[in-house]
Amino acid sequence: MRRGVRGLAVVLLVCASVIPAATAQATGERRAGPRPITQLFDNRAVSDDARPAGADFDGAGASLSARDLAAAGWTPGRALTVQGARLTWPKRAPGEPDNVVADGQAVRVHGRGDALAFLVTGTTGQDVTGSGTVGYADGSRSSYLLTAPDWRRGPLATKAVALPHINTPAGQLAEQARLYVVTVPVAPGREVVSVRLPRAAGLHVFAVSVRAAARGWTGSWSAATSGYPSVGPWTDRTLRLVVHTSAGGPRVRLRFDNTFAAAPVRIGSATVAVQDAGAAAAGSPVPVRFRGAPGTAVPAGAQAYSDPLDFEVPSDTSLLVSFHLPGTVPAAPVHRLAQQRSYVSEAGDHAADATGGAYTTVITSWPLLTGVDVGGGPGSVVLLGDSITDGDKSTVDANRRWPNVLARRLLAQTGVPRYGVLNQGISANRVVTDVYPGDGVSAASGGVSALHRLDRDVLAQTSARTVVVFQGVNDVRWGTSAARVTAGLREIADRARARGLRVLAATILPCEGEARCTAAVDTERTAVNDWIRRAGVFDGVLDFDAVVRDPARPSRMLPAYDSGDHLHPGDAGLAALAESVDLRSL
């Protein structure tokens, strides 16, 4: 089940295929000093669709389609940002060597950061795992373990991008090819100077870079992509999204994610402003830029950060983030349950409008925008959860989710750092099962599993310090055993702690009275909670079950805290959860 990878913090674009035994040349390369990865390329992965025999990625004549890569925005020499790591797709023509088969080669890499990320895929028909080492400027080394999923059979839920075809000499197959980004930890604070690749038959590496730590930034707001539904379609429209900050700061940057997509999306312009009321700004919206340009194209599966902007972001305040979509967008990565009204304009670029007159359509989701960071601050607490964390049944537009209440508590005290609070809840999400399959246009909006989204939604979040895991009720309600849920929670704890995060877990709330919350389900829920309290796996436990349960009938929620559906707390219950948190545990 495990798709996570432990080890270092660098980014590699990787793939796997069957290869012959090491040659004398490869042995010589292992003994040589570190070299740029482009000098080590010895395999051809990409072919021209008109000349599919020009590449042999897997040893059986199959290859990636250059046309499909271009359609996804993965063009030769294109710099991509995935999970916060900047890497470059090889600047090679179809049929030229564009990747290295991992056989212990030393790759020259420079930088300080928090992760080593690999964009990987395998062609052996199964996961390919191998260990390597990272070299540091002070002469020290650390080891890592890297697993590359298979390019034709690996999980769609964790892929960076999926391409619709595979080229073969006999013709093109309508079968998806997958590329993956896998991150592993590096020693904090040390300068990376080299990476020794694994010796693992079938592991191909396209690019490598150190993911820089987000020093000087605190995550103030975030939303996890829950699916990829049809929208609009939006053509020449401006979206004005209302988001509520936790921490404030003197600078701001925005993050857009094209998660689960098959094609790039173009952002023509973007602005940020403090909300006045509805779609109206309190003052003129301020333009943001992307590497000096007013807009950017975000490739499929990648993300874009705006340039830092001197803009005073108030804490506990609603912002308007507006961005123009000049092309046609028929589907988009979306966080479905916003519990917040946002807006879509009439035709035209209205990102700079201070008034809300052009914004005539209301939406209750957050498309494309996934993060707002502020300058300075102590870092962030990430809340990994389901609909209860997402705020289902809280008052719309009122910011009464329990993460909002927790953020206000942190702002009102001085005993612990005033962390930013990042809400990574997804309604209907589960620990071990994908509700949305991770690819394709779909009405499913429950996201991929917590295990499959952990790297993107927790480990790659800006300046994450602590993660609170509050999930499991949807698993047991849909028949997953307590043993599988606790195994998944243990894996989350292990992977997060390997990255230096503090890990807290919250117990599952009672839900008697909801249709799926039978006595058998409550038995599994209770077993999960007993394990959370007693296993000693986490750095701390938030006993949310004890906070809201009815002492006279522990399998149900106190009526005062129940929203009415017996599964989700209302505003009072959500506030009780947040008020129960010992802030020192964060």
Check pLDDT > 80 for residue 14. no
| Chain position carrying tokens 């936790």 | 246
Residues 329-361 have pLDDT tens digits of 999 999 999 999 999 999 999 999 999 999 999
* Within a domain: 216: no
Residue 19: pLDDT band with limits 50, 70, 90: very low
**Prior bond to 20 cis, omega within 30?**
no
Report the half-sphere exposure of 110 (CA within 13 A, side-chain side): 2
Closest CA to 504 of 540, 454, 472, 463: 540
Report how far residue 457's alpha carbon sits from residue 475's, in angstroms, rounded to the nearest whole number. Answer: 19
Please list the helix, strand and coil fractions of the chain in percent, rounded to the nearest 5, in that order: 20, 40, 45
Do 297 and 401 fall within a single domain? no
What is the arithmetic mean of pLDDT over 44-71? 97
Residues 252-292 have pLDDT tens digits of 999 999 999 999 999 999 999 999 999 999 999 999 999 99
Do 188 and 334 fall within a single domain? no
Do 194 and 309 fall within a single domain? no
Q: Give the least confident one: 199-213, 230-244, 283-297, 494-508.
A: 199-213
- 535-555 in b/e form (b: 16+ CB < 10 A) is eebbbbbbebbebbbbeeeeb
What is the arithmetic mean of pLDDT over 517-546? 98
* Within a domain: 495: yes
Q: Report the percent of the chain where pLDDT is more than 90.
A: 92
Angle between helices 402-411 and 571-580 (to 10 degrees): 40
Do 420 and 343 fall within a single domain? no
* Within a domain: 223: no
Do 559 and 585 fall within a single domain? yes
Tokens read off for 131: 């260990």
Instruction: Count how many residues are written for the chain.
Output: 586
* Within a domain: 91: yes
* Within a domain: 165: yes
Do 166 and 89 fall within a single domain? yes
pLDDT of residue 342: 98
Which domain-ending residue is among 350, 368, 386? 368
Mean residue pLDDT across the chain: 94
Do 310 and 452 fall within a single domain? no
Q: Which residue has the higher pLDDT, 117 or 375?
A: 375
Report how far residue 578's alpha carbon sits from residue 569's, in angstroms, rounded to the nearest whole number. Answer: 12
pLDDT of residue 164: 98
Maximal C-alpha separation, the chain: 75
Do 562 and 421 fall within a single domain? yes
Quote the domain boundaries for residue 185: 10-211
- Could you tell me the CATH number of the domain that includes residue 446? 3.40.50.1110
Closest CA to 435 of 227, 225, 236, 229: 227
Tokens read off for 418: 């005033």
* Within a domain: 220: no
Which domain-ending residue is among 316, 344, 368? 368
Do 198 and 291 fall within a single domain? no
Do 363 and 399 fall within a single domain? no
Tokens read off for 523: 């038995």
Residues 121-164 have pLDDT tens digits of 888 999 999 999 999 999 999 999 999 999 999 999 999 999 99
Do 205 and 234 fall within a single domain? no
Q: How far apart are the first and last CA of the chain?
A: 29
Report how far residue 377's alpha carbon sits from residue 259's, in angstroms, rounded to the nearest whole number. Answer: 28
| Chain position carrying tokens 């009204």 | 341
Domain tally for the chain? 3
* Within a domain: 1: no
pLDDT of residue 120: 82
Tokens read off for 163: 């391409």
Encoded amino acid at 362, one letter? V
Do 390 and 467 fall within a single domain? yes
Residue 11: pLDDT band with limits 50, 70, 90: very low
DSSP per-residue codes, 537-550: -SSEEE-HHHHHEE
* Within a domain: 407: yes
Handedness of CA 427, 428, 434, 440 (dihedral sign): negative
What is the arithmetic mean of pLDDT over 307-317? 98
